[in-house]
Amino acid sequence: MEHIRLLLDIGELNWVFKDSADSETLLQNIVTMVARHMKADVCSIYFFDEKNQELVLRANVGLKTDSIGKIKMKLGEGIAGACLKNIEPICTANSLVHPDFKLFPGINEELYKAFLAEPIISKASRVGVLVLQRKEANPFSEDDMLALRIITSQLAALIENAKLLTSMNSYIKQIAAIDWESQSESKFIKGKPASRGYVYAKIAVIEDSKAFDDLEKMSFEKCTLGDFTRALQSTEKQIELLQKKVEKNLTDAASMIFTSHLLILKDKTFINGIIGEINKGKNPPDAVITTSKKYIHIFLANPNEYIREKAKDIEDLAVRIVANLVRDDIKLPGVKNRIVIAREFYPSDVLRLSSEQIKGAVLISGGVTSHVSVLARSLSMPIIIANDPALLNINRNAKILLDAEIGNIYINPKRDILKEFADRLKRKAKNTPAVMMPVTKTKNGLRIQLMANVNLLKDVDTLKELACDGIGLYRSEFPFLIRSNFPSEEEQFFVYRKLIEGMPGKEITFRTLDVGGDKILSYFQKTKKDNPVLGLRSIRFSLANRGIFAEQIRAILRAGYKANLRIMFPMISSLEEFIAAKEVVGQCAADLKNKGIPHNGAPQIGMMVEIPAAIEIIAELAGIADFFSIGTNDLIQYMLSADRSNEEVAEYYLPHHPAVLRAIKKVARAAQSAKIDVSVCGDMANSAAYIKFLIGVGIRKLSMNAEYLGENQKIIAVLDSKECRQMAKEIVCLSRVDDIEKKLWPDKPIN
């Protein structure tokens, strides 16, 4: 009877829990109630902390009150620890002589002899332990044990929820306790550098971009229709100016950024809608908000994702118009000159934010070899990836210092850190970049070709001051990313011609469109797929969209007229694919010839080696391709099944995995046997240790971002190719990652 009442009470507690956020009180109520019903002098709940594999006392009656949170024992330690480890209740008449007993001095536990511990298990995982103790050395009865078992199983889910809530509360308290602004010591967070540079600036948290929502809550002084017309004109001028600036810096990629803003601004229905509201008596700022809201709702209801995204443009435009209407009343929440903190970026965000002149970024997720990082390097936008969501809660007035050379983030840095930073910048400015030697050679005179990876036309300007043997990889997809439609053949021709003219006489390798994966065309991919990197991307996309593919090839062939032109297909996984892609080039060349259009009729045609399937058929591929370029970024991702954009699996993304290194060697060998050219254009070509290995397996051509060229020329100049060969020979015989690490980084301390 007693037990039934207890179970009813527990049912009641369940209900109480639903409406209560105070899990501590709830747990306390549970132990009080269970102790009373079970006639125990002590009742305790221990939570199991999986991370630390220990039990922590969370609620108690009978022991000293300040013991909560302080009593901790490892799994298997003490009677409660042993009970949870074996997932078995333990009942003893005298705990003090039990072999597992552990005394915690100062909490009066020695006063209680009878002990009953019941594990709390939910969905087959350990939640904690419920413990009862009595003074006298009378064991708990079988009935008691059964009752406690029923109680615990009834309470398990409830306690698990309380456990979750407690851990969340402590996390929230932790975040709230971080008063970034008034920190006397500089708060420091370690991340991974994704794009190099130093920068010190105020922050802007992207998730806050609720400027339009804020507008709705504001009240404005009375304005006139004349004010509205003037505000429209100023907005148009501002946007045109912005557009011009962007076009100057990013001719190829970002020319379309503000077109839709301008189009909306000129849209008669939109403007007349606002005027109509004003004529009905609405204050112009409110008229702008009401009309924009109507449009936003319509856009958001559209099934097409691209149209839905347009709602953002309307919001942005409304904020700009209202800001111009009321001038001093609202401040445009901008990102200009700020360090942006965001959960993640797409490559198009990098382009857009670069045009809005952000200083740098901290991302909560992403990978250092992702395309976001690759693109940010071209734009000299320092980025650190720090897997710490608390950064999104940072005080909005905080200033942060990014040392994206090594991945350090200092929040509200103290003076001494700032001074060190300023000194470093001065030193860097004094150390004008070393002039590069015209050709790159190893210490023993072996010629290595250093090529550049180009993502944007802007990179070509940088190359003019550096010694490089040509463009080893032009990522032609970036100009496609931010537009509102596919660039026409003419637009592409214009960009490609500029690229070729920027590197007269040098070898230029165009990689055909490599979209998909993390490079999404907002105007094309209509539905999101589950595994985009395994989907219709890259050459698969081109072959499935022959019209788009042919337009690109024609533009390349035309731009490559009289140039040292190479065309390379990404993501080739079979001979058929390569042959099909090559045929498109042949057809385009024939077409141009028929029409008498000047073009390059005989470019070298090669492929990227970045799909594991290509490795097994590499000898046959070497028989039909003019050259190989090893894309290690994707090769590693696919060989090791570790998403290059996912920080959570970064520890699995290992360029020095034996499978990867042996695959590279195999490709180099196949190319040598077939006497075709082979290069490496992934990020492995950026790093000193890997360069040694790559030269060792016979790679003589490396392609990298411009920023690494000078540094790597120096690294190569002190290498002896015979030593490289010996080192590579030894490495490919090793099968353990840690043994390879010792060879590649002999000076690195072992953790």
User: Which residues in 701-740 contact Mg ion (CB under 5 A)?
Assistant: none
- Cβ distance to ligand PEP smaller for residue 252 or 316: 252
Angstrom distance (rounded) from CA 513 to CA 545: 11
CA-closest candidate to residue 463, choices 499, 410, 511? 499
Among ligand PEP, Mg ion, none, what does residue 577 contact (CB within 5–8 Å per kind)? none
Report, in Å, the least distance between residue 376 CB and Mg ion: 17
DSSP 516: B
Greatest pairwise CA separation for the chain in angstroms: 106
User: Which residues in 582-621 contact Mg ion (CB under 5 A)?
Assistant: 610
Q: How many chain residues are in contact with Mg ion, going by CB under 5 A?
A: 3
Q: Using CB atoms, what's the residue nearest to Mg ion?
A: 634
- Cβ distance to ligand PEP smaller for residue 334 or 612: 612
Q: State residue 447 phi and psi, 5-degree precision.
A: -80, 125
What's the 3-state SS for 488-515? Answer: CHHHHHHHHHHHHHHCCCCEEEEECCCC
Angstrom distance (rounded) from CA 548 to CA 565: 20
The answer to whether the CB of 437 falls within 8 A of the CB of 713 is yes
What's the 3-state SS for 295-331? Answer: HHHHHHCCCCHHHHHHHHHHHHHHHHHHHHHHHHHCC
- Cβ distance to Mg ion smaller for residue 78 or 517: 517
Among ligand PEP, Mg ion, none, what does residue 159 contact (CB within 5–8 Å per kind)? none
CA-closest candidate to residue 42, choices 106, 130, 127? 130
- Cβ distance to Mg ion smaller for residue 470 or 631: 631
Among ligand PEP, Mg ion, none, what does residue 681 contact (CB within 5–8 Å per kind)? ligand PEP
Report, in Å, the least distance between residue 549 CB and Mg ion: 17
The answer to whether the CB of 30 falls within 8 A of the CB of 130 is no
Among ligand PEP, Mg ion, none, what does residue 144 contact (CB within 5–8 Å per kind)? none
Report, in Å, the least distance between residue 717 CB and ligand PEP: 24
Is residue 516 involved in binding Mg ion (CB under 5 A)? Answer: no
Q: Which stretch binds Mg ion (CB under 5 A): 155-163, 329-337, 519-527, 631-639?
A: 631-639
Report, in Å, the least distance between residue 250 CB and ligand PEP: 18
> Which element (helix H / strand E) includes 415?
helix 415-430
- Give residues in contact with ligand PEP (CB under 6 A): 374, 473, 475, 514, 610, 631-634, 681-682
Among Mg ion, ligand PEP, none, what does residue 632 contact (CB within 5–8 Å per kind)? ligand PEP
Q: Which stretch binds Mg ion (CB under 5 A): 265-273, 623-631, 690-698, 743-751?
A: 623-631
- Cβ distance to ligand PEP smaller for residue 310 or 475: 475
If you search the block for the tokens 């699996």, which residue do you land on?
649
Angstrom distance (rounded) from CA 488 to CA 226: 41
The answer to whether the CB of 598 falls within 8 A of the CB of 554 is no
- Cβ distance to ligand PEP smaller for residue 376 or 473: 473
- Cβ distance to ligand PEP smaller for residue 59 or 681: 681
Among ligand PEP, Mg ion, none, what does residue 475 contact (CB within 5–8 Å per kind)? ligand PEP
- Cβ distance to ligand PEP smaller for residue 394 or 473: 473
Report, in Å, the least distance between residue 637 CB and Mg ion: 8
CB atoms within 10 A of CB 282: 16
CB atoms within 10 A of CB 450: 24
The answer to whether the CB of 41 falls within 8 A of the CB of 134 is yes
Report, in Å, the least distance between residue 376 CB and ligand PEP: 13
CB atoms within 10 A of CB 21: 10
- Cβ distance to ligand PEP smaller for residue 62 or 517: 517
Is residue 634 involved in binding Mg ion (CB under 5 A)? Answer: yes
Among Mg ion, ligand PEP, none, what does residue 459 contact (CB within 5–8 Å per kind)? none
CA-closest candidate to residue 236, choices 266, 215, 257? 266
Can you spell out the DSSP letters for 329-347? G------TTSEEEES---H
Angstrom distance (rounded) from CA 356 to CA 417: 28
Report, in Å, the least distance between residue 709 CB and ligand PEP: 16
- Cβ distance to ligand PEP smaller for residue 533 or 619: 533
The answer to whether the CB of 610 falls within 8 A of the CB of 571 is yes
Among Mg ion, ligand PEP, none, what does residue 682 contact (CB within 5–8 Å per kind)? ligand PEP
Terminal CA-CA length for the chain: 60
- Cβ distance to ligand PEP smaller for residue 356 or 610: 610
Report, in Å, the least distance between residue 568 CB and ligand PEP: 10
Angstrom distance (rounded) from CA 514 to CA 155: 54
- Cβ distance to ligand PEP smaller for residue 118 or 643: 643
Report, in Å, the least distance between residue 632 CB and Mg ion: 9
Report, in Å, the least distance between residue 51 CB and ligand PEP: 35
What's the 3-state SS for 190-212? Answer: ECEEEECCEEEEEEEEHHHCCHH
Report, in Å, the least distance between residue 421 CB and ligand PEP: 31
- Cβ distance to ligand PEP smaller for residue 133 or 637: 637
Q: How far is CA 678 from the centre of its chain?
A: 31
Is residue 631 involved in binding Mg ion (CB under 5 A)? Answer: yes
**Residue 358 tokens, joined:** 């952000």
Q: Which stretch binds Mg ion (CB under 5 A): 51-59, 261-269, 465-473, 625-633?
A: 625-633
The answer to whether the CB of 241 falls within 8 A of the CB of 257 is no
Report, in Å, the least distance between residue 427 CB and ligand PEP: 32
Report, in Å, the least distance between residue 634 CB and Mg ion: 4
The answer to whether the CB of 135 falls within 8 A of the CB of 41 is yes
Q: Find the helix packing angle between 371-378 and 347-355, rounded to 10°.
A: 30
Interacting residues toward Mg ion by CB under 5 A: 610, 631, 634
